[in-house]
Amino acid sequence: MNTITRTDFLFPKQTGKYTGKVRDVYTVDNRYLAMIVTDRISAFDIVLPKGIPCKGQVLNQIASKFLDATSDIVPNWKIASPDPVVTVGHKCDPFPVEMIVRGYLTGSSWRSFRAGARKICGAPIPEGMREHQRFDSPIITPTTKAEHGAHDEDISRDEIISRGLIAEEDYVLLEKYALALFERGSSMAAKQGLILVDTKYEFGKRDGIIYLIDEIHTPDSSRYFYADSYESAFAKGEQQRQLSKEFVREWLMANGFQGREGQKVPEMTPEVVEDISSRYIELYEKITGETFLKAEITDDIYTRIETNTENMLARLL
């Protein structure tokens, strides 16, 4: 199946390129970014050997929708999405911290709590909480943005400010924006019968103004529960039905892979790849409430991406 796993474009006035786990980001004229969301998929900080059809389109279009739906809360980097897998926007100077907002004691926060922690990134966790329990109000658990190939690390508000990573007045704004975005995302999720459990936001600065950058509320950056089964599952102590990339990690773990040295990625058969693709499309439709329309797949898919992106950049340069 035709997937976008690697790009190597040279756009007019291109001044740089960054290759992430999933995204290829091109800097143009030192003012703009062309972010191409590929079909690569990662788990346990490892890029898996096969791409997932439609994954890039799913992530790009969800992020694009939520950037538009939250632009009244905080300015964001997006200018336009000229192709199903491309977003073109303003280049910002990123803050070296990711703002993770948690509404529930789930995932790594639960694992820390179970191990005895009663503060996570400086945020107090009440005694007696159970897995998947809702916090009285959402908490922020920031992490450092690690260099390529390294792991993010938990960090507290006080450490961020004392180490000079972010000025206090800026950090106060980041907290305000992150909580407001989470509230908006939670409201939009509720309309789709979902609970926004936790998510991450990244911010940057341009001309002295803070911008929301990168993706927002996608299944790669967020965790959702199904609202209709939450209370029943919580009362019984059962695992929650969730919408996230967790199913990929679960498949890997079931096949003996957790990203540890010496472990081998299990075979990604065509059936496995197709199943993951179908799950991502299901995620799109459930999160947005819209029918997913696959972009036309042709042998000239890279030409399509290049042409659409260059036409957009030409209007900006």
More reliable by pLDDT, 155 or 243: 155
**What is the C-alpha R_g of the chain?**
20
In a domain, 33, yes or no: no
Specify the pairing of strand 222-226 against strand 23-28: unpaired
Question: How large is the average pLDDT for residues 264-293?
Answer: 94
Name the residue type at position 179.
L
What is the helix (H) or strand (E) element at residue 174, kind and residue range?
helix 168-191
In a domain, 192, yes or no: yes
Mean pLDDT of the chain: 94
Asked whether the beta carbons of 197 and 88 are under 8 A apart, the reply is no
* Cβ contacts of 66 within 8 Å, gap of 6 or more: 185, 188, 216, 217, 218
Distance in angstroms (rounded) separating the CA atoms of residues 103 and 84: 31
* Type and span of the H or E element at 46: strand 46-47
Q: How many domains does the chain have?
A: 1
Residue 148 is part of a domain; what is its CATH number?
A: 3.30.470.20
65/87 Cα distance (integer angstroms): 11
Asked whether residue 4 is assigned to any structural domain, the reply reads: no
Q: How far apart are CA 31 and CA 170, in angstroms?
A: 22
Residue 119: strand, helix, or coil: strand
Tokens standing for residue 120: 């996570």
Percent of the chain with pLDDT over 70: 97
Structural domain including 104 reads 95-243
**What pLDDT, in 10s, does the model give residues 65-86?**
999 999 999 999 999 999 999 9
Does residue 260 form part of some domain?
Answer: no
Determine which of 5-19, 81-95, 198-212, 289-303 has the lowest per-residue pLDDT on average: 289-303
pLDDT at 152: 74
**199 in a domain, yes or no?**
yes
The answer to whether 149 touches 155, Cβ cutoff 8 Å, is no
Residues 6+ apart with CB under 8 A from 136: none
Within-domain flag for 179: yes
Identify whether 158 is part of a domain.
Answer: yes
Would you say 206 and 93 are in contact if contact means Cβ atoms under 8 Å apart?
A: yes
pLDDT (tens digit per residue) in 213-223: 999 999 889 99
Task: Kindly state whether residue 305 falls inside one of the protein's structural domains.
Answer: no
